[in-house]
Chains A and B, each alone.
Chain A
Amino acid sequence: EAGVVQSPRYKIIEKKQPVAFWCNPISGHNTLYWYLQNLGQGPELLIRYENEEAVDDSQLPKDRFSAERLKGVDSTLKIQPAELGDSAVYLCASSTGTSLLDTQYFGPGTRLTVL
């Protein structure tokens, strides 16, 4: 069974440029998460989807960040414009259901460097 797929794995951009990250969850997983992980820190939830509905986006900086999961499968996270402080690893995870007992499976992440 394929795991959570993320692309690109690495991205280097200049500040003020836009950037997008893509995530394809494990087949059949209805819940999808986007996390931000700064160097030396634990992940912080940005947004959680149940199917195509964003059920928790309270930590998403909506002035520059946006996300979508149009068909309830794969998802895209966008930053426009990027700032130096956005340099981090962006993790995607998925789970079968919405219970906290449902194991979250993480992707390898996208490492973003903003110059």
Chain B
Amino acid sequence: AQTVTQSQPEMSVQEAETVTLSCTYDTSENNYYLFWYKQPPSRQMILVIRQEAYKQQNATENRFSVNFQKAAKSFSLKISDSQLGDTAMYFCAFAPNAGKSTFGDGTTLTVKP
């Protein structure tokens, strides 16, 4: 069974600063996908960024980028120029090529003005 571990239950960052959220996973699969989701307080969960394991290049979406280390089974999320609207719970998720997603327990990020 796959497991996803987010070792930082809570983090905070000053507005405009950069923060990195950690995620590690355990799997015997070779082909899979990794995701970061954002769940703002009382709002819907939305996809932030995804990475296909066969791609070596790290995914980037505007201020959000990942550091994907396949050998280390690590998938961290970097948020640059943090904004107040980035305050949310962030979930890392793993999905094998033909299976369902497994989510971590989340990291609560607070951006302080």
A3 and B45 CA atoms in complex are apart in Å by 12
Residues of the B chain whose Cβ atoms lie less than 8 Å from the Cβ of A109: 44
Inter-chain residue pair count (beta carbon < 8 A): 42
**Is B44 within 8 A of A108, CB to CB?**
yes
The answer to whether A106 touches B46, judged by C-beta atoms less than 8 angstroms apart, is yes
Chain B's interface size range is: 10 to 19
Assess whether A29 is interfacial by the CB under 8 Å rule.
no
Q: In the complex, which residue of chain A has the Cβ closest to the Cβ of B98?
A: A100
**A interface list, Cβ under 8 A from B:** 3-4, 40-45, 48, 56, 91, 93, 100-101, 103-109
Picked from B33, B46, B52, B103, the residue with its CB within 8 Å of the CB of A44 is: B103
- Of the listed residues B4, B47, B97, B103, the one surrounded by the most CB atoms of chain A closer than 10 A to its CB is B103
- CB nearest to A45 among chain B residues: B100
Q: Report B's interface with A, CB cutoff 8 A.
A: 4, 33, 43-47, 50, 52, 91, 93, 95, 97, 100-101, 103-106
CB-CB under 8 A for A41 and B100, given A91-B45, A104-B47, A106-B44: no
Do residues B50 and A101 form an inter-chain contact, with CB atoms below 8 A?
yes
